[in-house]
Each structure stands twice: as C-alpha cells, then as structure tokens.
Structure 1
C-alpha cells in the first residue's frame, strides 16, 4: 500500500472490544483515506470474538509498520482510549481517535490535517465534526445536530460538541492529555479532549461537514443524542444527578492541568466551582457570571432547570 512520506503522519488510535461485526468496514475506510500517511495503533480491551483474527488479517495485508495490535487496560472505553493517547512509543504529527464500528469518509483525515496545519506549531489544536448517522446496516438515519455557537472552555465544561470518533488533534494537544495522565477519572475522552484544549489556550475547529458514518446499534458504548428517545434518557440521567457527578469528576481532573489553564479558564472554573455550592439565587448569579452555555436553546433551558434544582 502506497505511503506518501511527504505528508504529515497521523497516528490513528483505534480501540476495539468484540468488534467483529463492523471492524472490517472501518479498516477498509481507513485504507481508503486520501491522506496517505497514517498508521493504526489498536488497543483491544479483551475481545473473545474474531476481532484479533480480523486485525491480524489486515496486518498481513498492509504490511509491517501500518498497524500495531496491543492489549488495553480492560477498564472501559475511556481508559482504553486515554492509555493509547498517552503511550510514549506512539509518535506522529497528528493523532485521530477511531471507534471500531464507524465508516470514515475518504477525505476525513485530509480535511482535518489541512486545518491543523494552519495552526501555529505549539498551539494545541483539535479538529472535530458533525456526523452522518446510519443504522446497523449502514442505512442513512440523518445527521447529528449542527451547532453554531463558537467552541470554548465555557461550553466544554457543560457539553461536548462532537464525538471523539471525529476528533483529530496535534502533538501540542496530545502533550496536554499526557500531562493530565491516562488515569484521570473523566466521563468520556471526547468531552475531556475538548475541555483540555480549550482550557489551555488551544483552538478547536468544529466542521459542519459530516466526516464519517456514525453507526447506531444496540452495542454502542455511547450513541447519539439527536433523537427524542435519546434526549429523554439524558434528561432522566440529569435528574438522577449524573451531570452533577460528572462535573465533580471533571473539576477534580482539571486540577491536574491547573498550571496550564489560561487565566480566563481558571476564572471560569472557579466561578463554576463556587456557584455549585451556593443557595439558589447566588448559585444562579454565579453560574451566569461563569459564562457556561450549551449550544441550543433547549439545551440552555435544561441547563437552567438543572441549576435551579442543584443538579449541575
């Protein structure tokens, strides 16, 4: 398979777990990328199906240096992805998270790399995008929500705008993830990456172009929240205190990067942390001053309700 060494290398961080049904389609879509300098680093979290057989078949097909098969920590998908992101032996100009069951559009890496190369070296940068939703049989189901408000730390503290499966980031962003460490207790690696980059003075590009086909099926670790059924599930989670618990964990995790946060980010973080502990009126005033926001009117109404009932 041809490799264009003149292009920057992208290390694709692919986590697998019982992925035999869809893995081949994902690997084929990676093979079909128009950006021709990439390598795949696989971390398998203890599959007992044919996942390893499939990976070994592609390793034989692609040749040495194109795919490395490794064993994950077996502590869930977040730990698996962060363990890959923090491995010292993976070195590239750019890094891309990859799920095992999606189908990448052929120009996914090309679009991401084109934008990332426009960012000055040393500035943390993260590309992410909208997705095209498909069912288990790869039939179209529509698009993920289109967000129009700018990416920011104030948004990242309360919402992730894109799935990790769309994310490609530079080495400066990757070094921040490594500084925080692979054992931080965060809810998801996509929301964490968004927080880290925006909080530490980096830049995020949310691309309205759907860069991949995001497969929805019964075994999704995390699915889309674009349907009303999915939104109701998340509303129930909010009222059961999940959002407050998640914020507790993120506030602790961000302390690992406190020296790297911008003064503005520290101020936002402090206002949020203080407001959460206060009675109703001071809490609402403090949260307003913090500037936190979600991307949609409905989302912000839900945020207000969560603030009123101390679920944030």
Structure 2
C-alpha cells in the first residue's frame, strides 16, 4: 500500500450529499512540535473548507505553541484559536475542549500527530447529512510508521456497534470521530461529569454516551487518515496479534475494572441523556460488577455485553469470573 493509493477522494455523490455546516475541530496538543505541522497542513488541505480549529495546549515547551500561532497567522481572525489546556493528560484536555467548543456545531476530534486525508471531513459530513437525530461518525485508518510509511489498515469490525459493546470496548476511533450538532451537544452536556469521574479515554466515553443516547453510529470502512505510530503515541495500534493479546490482558489487570467504574459513574451522572433501556442497563452493570466473580460473570452475560471478537468476549467474562472487574465500594455508595 502506498501513500498515494491510500488517500481516497470524495465521490460526486458524497459531495452532493455533504452538509455545508461548520465543523469545529478539537485538537489536544502537548509536546507535539515534531509532527503537528503535518497535521495542521492536512487540515488546511481539507476539501470541506468550512471549518474552525481550536487547539488546547497542555503546557508544551518544545515550540508546539509557536507552530500553531504561525499557522493561525495565515488565516482570518477567529478561524484558529489557541487556548490553555488543564495540564491533566490527553483525556482531560479533550474533555476540556468539548466544554470550550460552541454549542450546536459539528465537532471533530483531532490528534496532533496524524495526517488527515483531504476528504476526511467531507466524507464524514456526507454520511452525517443522511441521518436524522444525533449521529456519531468514525472510520478506519491507515497505520503508518513515524515517517508516514503505510504499514496496514486498521481493523475492520464485523459485529454491530452499540451500547452493549461500548460499555466494555472502545472501538469508535477518537482520531476519526465526527459528531453532528445533536451528538456534540450530548458530549457538551456530559463532559463535566466525565471529567469529575476521571474517565480513562475520551473516545471510549464519547462512544458510550452517543450510543447510550440512541445516536446513529456510522463506521466507515474507507480509511480517513494516516495514523502515525511513534515512540510517544498515547494509544498504539490494536490490530496485531501482540497488540490484541496485550489488550485482552488488560481485562485481567485491576486498572480495567477501575476504568469501567469511572465510565459508569460518568454515565450515571447524566442518565437523563440516555434512553430508558440504556439507563437501566447502566444501573444493572453497576450492580453486577461488585458481585462475587462467578455471579458477576453470569450477570454480565445475561445483560448481553460483548466485545467484537469471541475471544475478547470470553476474556471479559473470564476476568469477571475471577474477580478482576470488582472495585471496592465506599460505605456511602
């Protein structure tokens, strides 16, 4: 696979269907000087021209802010904003960006070290324009090395995307995610609770909240960007046998149970945004996790939680059965 044939172009049908609304791009930066210019240039090259960019920098000392400022100087005032992040890690920075974003706009998450294909926003907007109500778009990626040499395409998921999957697996890639205004407003209403709960991953939380609220989920099989893998990547690729084995092993690490607990806390705080069925599901999962291992595993199985592979689902139930998903509860909870 070459860089040339990996970059898809927008079809005439997609162009005709595309919404003409503004997309507000949310870029969380930290010590990104080595790669951020390429990402900024790919944003400037988007065929969907109606965009604004908010960069929340988490205290970079390597010239990242200067690069963003020089880039912003080439556009009209207000097109690009550089704000200070909370300096509490990438997830908190993205949630902070959601809070700072204007209401009633399409939002797009953006990582500092990827490179978007020119039709990335246009494809997302075309897909979202075809649905009614809240919509969350994500896509596959082309995985590259740190010099943007393509290595492989990201995994193609075959099972249904939905809340029973979202509760236990993050697979709507944040670096490709675009949310129409209805979905974006859900995120804005839920971001404060997510920050307080200390959720592990902004994109996992976003998948949970949008699916829990009944949004339409779109997972595009056409790649949207070059997903650069380098030594400082916050989240690495998940498509190799070693990577998949490592992620399954996380199910048996105590941290995973803590992540589930934080996610449930964040969702429970905004239960009014969820459908009635999914609000009950959150309560049922929350009640199941503290049970003795075998009971917890049986309860989660009855609730129909699943990961996208049979091995992953089996590992989830096995981790529950041996008590690895249990978290201590304070007397007040």
Find out whether 1:140 has 2:150 as its counterpart: yes
Matches within 5 A, 1:178-257: 178-182=188-192, 183-184=195-196, 185-257=198-270
Q: Which moved more, 1:52-61 or 1:95-104?
A: 52-61
2-side partners of 1:163 and 1:69: how far apart? 24
Q: Deviations over 1:144-196 (max 9, x none)?
A: 11101111110000001132110000222222222223323211110000000
Partner SS for 1:126: strand
Q: Deviations over 1:198-231 (max 9, x none)?
A: 1112111111111111000010111222223323
* Contact kept? 1:179, 1:256, Cα under 8 Å: no
User: Normalising by structure 1, what TM-score?
Assistant: 0.92
Q: Deviations over 1:244-280 (max 9, x none)?
A: 1111111111112112211210232222222222234
* Contact kept? 1:10, 1:92, Cα under 8 Å: no
Indicate which of 159, 168, 189 corresponds to 1:149.
Answer: 159
2-side partners of 1:93 and 1:253: how far apart? 23
Matches within 5 A, 1:1-312: 7-87=20-100, 90-91=102-103, 93-120=105-132, 123-182=133-192, 183-184=195-196, 185-312=198-325
Q: Which moved more, 1:93-102 or 1:265-274?
A: 265-274
How many angstroms does 1:141 deviate by? Answer: 1.2
Q: Deviations over 1:271-301 (max 9, x none)?
A: 2222222234432321112111011122112
How many angstroms does 1:110 deviate by? Answer: 0.6
Structure 1: state its 5+ residue gaps. Answer: 1-5
Query: 1:3 — aligned with what?
Result: none
Q: Which moved more, 1:250-259 or 1:231-240?
A: 231-240
Q: Which moved more, 1:249-258 or 1:276-285?
A: 276-285
How many angstroms does 1:92 deviate by? Answer: 5.6
* Contact kept? 1:136, 1:217, Cα under 8 Å: yes
Structure 2: state its 5+ residue gaps. Answer: 1-18, 326-333
* Contact kept? 1:271, 1:289, Cα under 8 Å: no
2-side partners of 1:288 and 1:86: how far apart? 35
* Contact kept? 2:267, 2:282, Cα under 8 Å: no
2-side partners of 1:78 and 1:39: how far apart? 21
Query: 2:13 — aligned with what?
Result: none
Paired residues, number: 304
How many angstroms does 1:119 deviate by? Answer: 2.1
1-side partners of 2:243 and 2:295: how far apart? 32
How many angstroms does 1:306 deviate by? Answer: 1.2
2-side partners of 1:237 and 1:199: how far apart? 24
Partner SS for 1:61: coil
